[in-house]
Structure 1
Amino acid sequence: MTIKIPDSIFEGLVRWMVRGPWPEHFQQAIHDHTGLYCEAHDIDSFEALADRIGGHWVSVLNDMALNDFLGRETEDGNVVDLYLKRRGWKETKIARAYLEGIRDSAVSLYEVSDIVPGKSFLARDLILDGEPFRVLERSATKTMAPWEQFAMRIVNVRGQNIIAGGLLPLEPERADDLLSEFNEMVAEAESRFEEIIAEARAEGDFDEEIPPEGIQDIALGLALKSASSFFATTWMAVTPLHPDEQTLPQLFNFDGDEVEFIQLVYRFEKGTTQAQMRKILDGEADMEAASDKIWNWVDRGGRAKPKPQKALPESGQMYNSQLDDGSPVLGMITLKGRTLEADINSEPRAKEIKARLADLLGDHVKPPLIARQTLEQAMAAHRENGAAPEPPHLSEEEQAAIRAEVMEQHYQGILDRPIGLLDDKTPRESARTAKGRQKITAWLKILELNEAKARAGTNAPVYDFSWMWQELGVIELRQ
């Protein structure tokens, strides 16, 4: 039987703690979670914070602060201990177990998998490691994607694992950074603890032997106790401002060019057909077919990359796109009726693709018409036009079949191509070593996560990657 935590779970506790020192301690927990962000952006109320990051996230952060507060040891003791001692007889067994579970738990960084929407998921603790375990959850599982990573608190209540409070999603790259920062916190706590013990021994105040692993466990426990506010403040540091208040960053592609969206439109000369265009493009190594009418223009390592004239400004951001094998995508080629369109994101690339297509297409096309859009213009056009283009006039089954065929061809071929994330080895080559299999696992998880996010909110079925795990011999690592 699934345990149900009543919505009124904290009512008795809140009524009891209002009269003591607890509101001040709770306020400190809220400040620890949101204070740095509010001070940095001159925010002085929950309403203003909600305007900036959204009411949903304010609720999530408040929930995290409350649960953190329930586990804290203050100069006045622990609020859960004292409440249960004095008023616990009024609570149900489930309520007592839930409050005790929160008190004894900590926020950690988890990777989710084997998601059963509306029911449960597997969680793997990326900090404590260990085997994945089943967590019961209804609402969050309806939007989770496999291998997505979250900062959250998982509580065991009478043998069942449930989420307590909100959860914060983190992109894989940001999660890796956060994990590195957390490990540094643990190392620092371990160093301080060793110094304290050494001083105590020198003064004759401490003679107990603590093995190194014991010190590591203590340091990890201390770090985990502050993890909730650490994850919250780190997450908020990369949370975008309200769209109306954002300042657009300067975007640069990996060549160091400032981003400007440019489109070259080539009209076919008389007698030229799409079939001829497809044959030409399919025969080029730097043209990767995405469908029978779309090609990614990619860097296979043979082009001379222009270097930026100066370092990126402090506010500058890199704007990159790449294939699953790690090859940078320089632009996109699309066939539409009797035209060929080339979309690129900088002036130098526009000149480069113009020269490249002149060599490839020759007399098959007329000189191109050129359209330009700055980042600001592109954003404004997106806000004005909003609606997505109409899908092709095909049934859902026909669209799904076409998509599945294209995906199957693409992923069948990718197993024998060098992948940047695999140290430029092919997946089959990487599968021959233990280290390579670990890298394959991370790569496949990225593929699955990106695919699930791309299909989120659509009726399109998510591609099944299980055959790739099986064929590469890493199916046992899919956890």
Structure 2
Amino acid sequence: MTANSFNLNGLIKFLSRDDWSLQFDEVMGDHFWPVMDEFGLDQQELGEVLGDHWVMTLWGCAFEDFLTLSFEPDGMTFVDLYLKRRGFKETARSKAYMKALSTSVMSLYEVSDIVPGQSFRARDLIRGGDPVVVQEATATQTLNQWERIAARILGIGDSHLIAGGLLPFSMEASQALLEGLKELSNKPRSRKKLSLEDDTLRIAAPLFTHAWLFDVLPKVLGEDLPDVNNTDGDSIVFHEVRFPLEVGITNKDIAERLAGIDDLRQENPQFWNWLGRRPPANAARASDANLFIAGMTMEDGTPVLGSLEIKGRALVLMVNSAERAQKGRELMQNVLGKMVRTPLTSIQTIEQAREAYAGRKPSSDDIPLDIATQLVHAMLDKQYRATLDEPVGMLGDKSPRAAARTKAGREKVAEWLKYLEMRSASVGPDDPMATYDFSWIWTELKVQDLRR
């Protein structure tokens, strides 16, 4: 039995009777007007931006909120009034479901132990208590381990079901929501864990819609794309600089000339890594939450600035910024001189590269998935092992090892690891990152008891 097996058509049709549409419009306004005002969108534009699925989901969130309101003069809910007048048309199961909706609250849950097509375990991050097993067929097909969702969980008989208004929450949206809910609590702001009574949480239902929309809309509208820089602080723009070889110059001539360059490390007869200098241990790190630093390193931590490869009758320099392209051109022209002709440069942005990759057809040159998985997992092992001793923003700029030494720090480390697992699982089933096993990190940091 799932929420999808209940028919609310009679309840929805009853909404058009008398003056109920006016009260419902007020609830819709509570959920949507502040966001539409902020982004300058009307109802139709909001629907066009989000798409039909999310419009219906958000409508469901507002409708379910409306069902919990009590109206004067007798304090009855819309469900009470409907069942009083039309309840004879409904089955006992449907009436139980409607009554459960009318007393429900929206809360934020952490998902775990997902059984696709059957159930998942939900831990209430606001009210606390023991996790409950929720019977659900549809949502379990797309939920990821440790994902956070805003939803109404209904207890009907011996089962727990989830209502129709389910919103997936990012870590950023979760934090924004929790901050907003703190304003409604009468507890001191310094309280470590937020805990709200049902009556207070019921009033806060529109905040869940606000938090979700304020997180999603900037991304959909292209206003919240992260700035991506390389390790030099340059904006990422891919450059391919092609140096045609002069007549009479051979690949061997080029290799012999490049052999004397300290910053080049030869990997095979036709390929070199262009290396930079290792940053000092106390080097400044990016503090902007909307800034992503991308870069590659050798096994000893030396940054890779780019690569050089002999392709046919040309030496090709591949780098990820205009600044590195300029330095690389100057370096090659100084080293090779008249051995190469004037270079030709092609440029590709991150967006163009993503579109080109998404639209390409599989090639026989692609690395087989099993081999790619081994390579990616080995790279992630190396990356995360180094991260255990580096400052992490989510841990208050403490390293995971240092944070795991205190009780409060252990809880933060567990949240950080759950975030990593959820982000890794969300990339898609065919991506090698989706199958990476984080269990060794939990064990390494001795926080495996918090993996629940």
TM over 0.5: yes
Range 249-258 or range 57-66, more displaced: 249-258
Selected match of 2:389 from 417, 423, 429? 417
- Where in structure 2 are the equivalents of 1:5-404 lying within 5 Å? 5=3, 9-41=7-39, 43-45=41-43, 47-75=44-72, 77-187=76-186, 220-240=197-217, 251=227, 253=229, 259=235, 261-263=237-239, 265=241, 270=253, 272=255, 300-301=279-280, 318-321=290-293, 333-334=306-307, 341-345=317-321, 347=323, 371=345, 379=351, 386-388=358-360, 390=362, 392-404=365-377
Change (3 A) 1:384 1:296: same
Q: Distance in 1 between matches of 2:101 and 2:51?
A: 26
Q: Where does residue 476 of structure 1 map in the other structure? A: 449
| 1:73 CA drift (Å) | 1.5
Contact 1:400-1:461 within 8 A present in 2 as well: no
Change (3 A) 1:296 1:55: farther
Q: Where does residue 454 of structure 1 map in the other structure? A: 427
Change (3 A) 1:122 1:270: farther
Q: Distance in 1 between matches of 2:70 and 2:304?
A: 56
TM (norm. structure 2) is 0.74
Sequence identity, in percent?
28
Q: Distance in 2 between matches of 1:390 and 1:252?
A: 27
Range 102-111 or range 402-411, more displaced: 402-411
Q: Where does residue 467 of structure 1 map in the other structure? A: 440
Change (3 A) 1:70 1:281: farther
Contact 2:308-2:318 within 8 A present in 1 as well: no
| 1:238 CA drift (Å) | 3.1
User: What is the DSSP-based 3-state SS (H/G/I as helix, E as strand, rest coil) of the residue aligned with 1:169?
Assistant: strand
Change (3 A) 1:437 1:183: same
TM (norm. structure 1) is 0.70
Contact 2:107-2:201 within 8 A present in 1 as well: yes
Contact 1:119-1:138 within 8 A present in 2 as well: yes
User: What is the DSSP-based 3-state SS (H/G/I as helix, E as strand, rest coil) of the residue aligned with 1:166?
Assistant: coil
Stretches of structure 2 that go unaligned for 5 or more consecutive residues are 244-250
Letter in 1 for 2:389: R
Letter in 1 for 2:93: I
Stretches of structure 1 that go unaligned for 5 or more consecutive residues are 192-212, 284-291
Q: Distance in 2 between matches of 1:119 and 1:91?
A: 26
Q: Where does residue 201 of structure 1 map in the other structure? A: none
Q: Distance in 2 between matches of 1:251 and 1:461?
A: 24
| 1:253 CA drift (Å) | 5.0
Letter in 2 for 1:468: I
Letter in 2 for 1:112: V
User: What is the DSSP-based 3-state SS (H/G/I as helix, E as strand, rest coil) of the residue aligned with 2:112?
Assistant: strand
| 1:179 CA drift (Å) | 1.0
Change (3 A) 1:297 1:372: farther
Change (3 A) 1:172 1:345: farther
Letter in 2 for 1:321: I
User: What is the DSSP-based 3-state SS (H/G/I as helix, E as strand, rest coil) of the residue aligned with 2:162?
Assistant: strand
Q: Distance in 1 between matches of 2:214 and 2:356?
A: 29
Change (3 A) 1:225 1:250: closer
Change (3 A) 1:441 1:42: closer
Q: Where does residue 200 of structure 1 map in the other structure? A: none
Q: Distance in 2 between matches of 1:398 and 1:306?
A: 33
User: What is the DSSP-based 3-state SS (H/G/I as helix, E as strand, rest coil) of the residue aligned with 1:118?
Assistant: coil
Letter in 2 for 1:29: V
Count of aligned pairs between the two proteins: 421
Please state if 1:432 is matched with 2:410. no
Q: What RMSD, in angstroms, separates the aligned Cα atoms of the two structures?
A: 4.8
Q: Distance in 2 between matches of 1:180 and 1:296?
A: 44
Q: Deviations over 1:427-474 (max 9, x none)?
A: 445433323322321221222122112234658751111232223221
| 1:113 CA drift (Å) | 1.8
Q: Deviations over 1:259-281 (max 9, x none)?
A: 462526487874649xx89x978
Range 92-101 or range 54-63, more displaced: 92-101
User: What is the DSSP-based 3-state SS (H/G/I as helix, E as strand, rest coil) of the residue aligned with 1:441?
Assistant: helix
